[in-house]
Amino acid sequence: MASTATATTAVMNEIESNGSRTGLVPVPTPNRAGGTTGPRRPEMVPSVQHSEAKATAANEKTAPMADFGAKCRSVPVVDLVNLIARTAAQSGASDVHIEPRKEGIIVRYRLDGILTQITELPKWMDAALTSRVKVLAGLDIAEKRKPQDGRLVVQGEKGEDIAFRVSTMPTQFGEKVVMRLLRDHAAVPTLQSLGYSASDLERLKGFLKHKHGMILVVGPTGSGKSTSLSAAIASVTSPEVNIITLEDPIEYQLPGVNQTQINEKADLTFTTALRAVLRQDPDVVLVGEVRDAETARIAMQASQTGHLVLSTLHTDDAPSAVTRLMDMGVESYVISSALLGVVAQRLMRKLCSDCKVPMKPSRRVQEDLGLTDEEVANTTIYGPCGCPKCHNTGYRGRIGLYEVMEVTDSVNRCIVSGARVDAVREAALKDGMTSLGEDGLAKVLAGVTSAEELLRVVSRPCDERQNKQKAA
């Protein structure tokens, strides 16, 4: 696999080139003796055109600023915050991490799901940088002991708005800032573009044709659940259907849909909002997340009284959603009568189509994938190489892995009887469910991704393949 350091260098070069246009240039890091450590890593500090400003900047490299207010309102820091935000959007990053350390500040982007260090800033910029982010996000700059949340909007190079959800957290060496890029003006992807297999897509569309019932999308944080739900909602939107969504935050703007932002400070929680929604004559209701037993019960009851309800849960796979609902206190007979299906998913990096190369998997990788020698000999398996278009990582973009479980008669009987999750999984596999590992393996054999990337997301696909064979 190509080195992530090469990818980091590529993004850092982009920051440096942008910096030359916005008044930011890389300089060596000052050391405690008053000298410099050399060009160990490009670090961004303000560059000023006038000689007096240059002298001031030179002094500030080696000593903290005395005036905190002036430092907070510093134009170069404003440029730096805007630069970090714009470069993140241009690079396709989903999150920006600004992390204080003992000797400096680390800036990292999450690119295609992988955290990558972009640059390191001098320690004296910590307070000014964090305070500027707080000001833009509408947070209290004087409060450093408690976590805070807000929203930040900066302008892109073309004048477009780039929005971030901002979270601050006090740490040992200062306040850590995480900025989640909100692509609320981005086009909603179609279900067909998300990477579902033909059989899974047909099964999901069958769920969405129902007039009532509940559809759950499960997976860890950052697995694309909100995108899948938005695509599903977009597919059923029409003038004849009243659709209401409860989201935190609203990630996509959906035409023809009534979208509500959860606001816990105003006591507008998922539970209270869901009660109000049911008095709004809805046909389809999207609940961003089932977080507690009360929300689960109300959502289930709504799905039994003539509403199609879509929501998410945090479970590892589709069958585990049943036991999770039971743990929340939802009765098994309610689950069996309300639940239409469960979609489990993960996100996996796609190989760069411009530089992927054929690779023969090692014996251990072959065993972990569950591939036979004949399958390896008759199939071309690709791996990453690296080129400028993919920042020399070998990967560009992501695609979903899916496990679509339909609540068939046999699965329903398992739910009613309170059977273990293994029994629910076995019944679902017998009725045609494709596991996450199987779906990922199909994408490896199709050249969409690499074997190593699949094993990063799914530990042992061979076990799921064996379970499928036993169930058959």
Q: pLDDT of 116-175, one tens digit each?
A: 888 888 898 899 999 999 999 999 999 999 999 999 999 888 888 889 999 999 999 999
pLDDT, position 31: 44
Which letter does DSSP use for residue 266 in this model?
G
- The closest of 338, 306, 350 to 193, measured between CA atoms, is 350
Q: Which pLDDT value is given to residue 33?
A: 42
pTM confidence score = 0.78
Q: How far apart are CA 137 and CA 266, in angstroms?
A: 19
Look at residue 60 in the predicted model and tell me its pLDDT. Answer: 38
- 110 has a pLDDT exceeding 70: yes
Least confident piece of the model among 108-112, 373-377, 410-414: 373-377
Q: How confident is the model at residue 464 (pLDDT cuts 50, 70, 90)?
A: low
Pairing, β 114-122 against β 104-111: antiparallel
pLDDT higher than 90, residue 73 = no
Instruction: Give, as one character, the DSSP assignment of residue 124.
Output: G
pLDDT number for residue 283:
97
pLDDT tens profile 163-212: 999 999 999 999 999 999 987 677 899 999 999 999 999 999 999 999 99
Structure confidence at residue 37 (pLDDT): 43
pLDDT of residue 1: 45
Structure tokens at 347: 């996100």
Pairing of strands 174-182, 161-171: antiparallel
Least confident of 45-49, 255-259, 405-409: 45-49
pLDDT at 418: 92
CA angle 209, 214, 215 (to 5 degrees): 75
Which residue matches tokens 């309610």? 334
* CA distance to 1, 114, 117, per residue, from 93 (Å): 20, 9, 12
Provide the CA 145 distance to its chain's centre, in angstroms. Answer: 27
Q: What pLDDT does 13 receive?
A: 52
Q: Between these two residues, 376 and 176, which has the higher pLDDT value?
A: 176
- pLDDT on residue 333: 94
Tokens matching residue 285:
């209701």
Across residues 305-314, what is the average pLDDT?
A: 96
Least confident of 59-68, 200-209, 341-350: 59-68
For residue 34, the model assigns a pLDDT of: 43
So what's the pLDDT on residue 286? 98
What proportions of the chain, in percent to the nearest 5, are helix, strand and coil? 40, 25, 35
Q: Which residue has the higher pLDDT, 23 or 322?
A: 322
**How far is CA 362 from each of CA 44, 202, 368, 372, 465, rounded to the nearest angstrom?**
43, 35, 10, 12, 19
Mean pLDDT, the chain, as a whole number? 84
% of the chain residues with pLDDT over 90: 65
Could you give the percent of the chain with pLDDT greater than 70?
82
Answer whether residue 44 shows pLDDT above 70: no
Return the pLDDT at 390: 86
Q: What pLDDT is recorded for position 30?
A: 42
- How far is the C-alpha of 360 from the C-alpha of 375, rounded, in Å? 11
Predicted confidence at residue 295, as pLDDT, reads 94
- Predicted pLDDT of residue 29: 39
Both ends of the chain: CA-CA distance in Å? 36
CA distance 75 to 57: 12
CA-CA distance, 393 to 6, in Å (whole number)? 7
